[in-house]
Amino acid sequence: MEKKIVITLTFGFLTILLTSCDPYYSITVTNETRDTTKILVKETISFRTEKQKTETTADGFDIYQLAPNEQIKVGSAIAEIDNDIPFEEIKIIKNGDTITADNLEAIKKLFDKKTFGGPKTPYNISIK
């Protein structure tokens, strides 16, 4: 009887260990410059932030200002980022220069990369 309990507990413990769980990562934008930067985004339903937008443009972009060294959370992703990108388009305006990403592939290129490619986790867009 005792052997049966040990086998059952061992099986249950191994099942718990082998059951995978998708990791949950935050998606952030970080201003690493010495100047205030503007972020213009066309948000998706997965866009979530506590930061107040300063205004909305006529063409549907919400504008957020990031102070130097400020980071804002704009959403989260479960495992891969492909289905959880929180904006359809993003424009980053710093020192009069504009970086624009208007499709999924262009947006994915903005995220910080690992040494051998692929986005780092948690997901972050660094403005330098």
Locate the domains of the chain by residue range.
23-127
What pLDDT, in 10s, does the model give residues 56-73? 999 999 999 999 999 999
Question: For 53, which DSSP code?
Answer: P
Non-local CB neighbours of 93 within 8 Å, separated by 6+ positions: 37, 38, 39, 40
Q: To the nearest whole percent, how much of the chain has pLDDT over 70?
A: 88
For the segment 16-22, the average pLDDT, to the nearest whole number, is 60
pTM of the shown model:
0.80
Confidence of residue 118 (pLDDT cuts 50, 70, 90): confident
Strand 24-31 with 37-43, pairing: unpaired
Counting every residue written for the chain, the total comes to: 128
Residue 21 banded pLDDT, cuts 50, 70, 90:
low
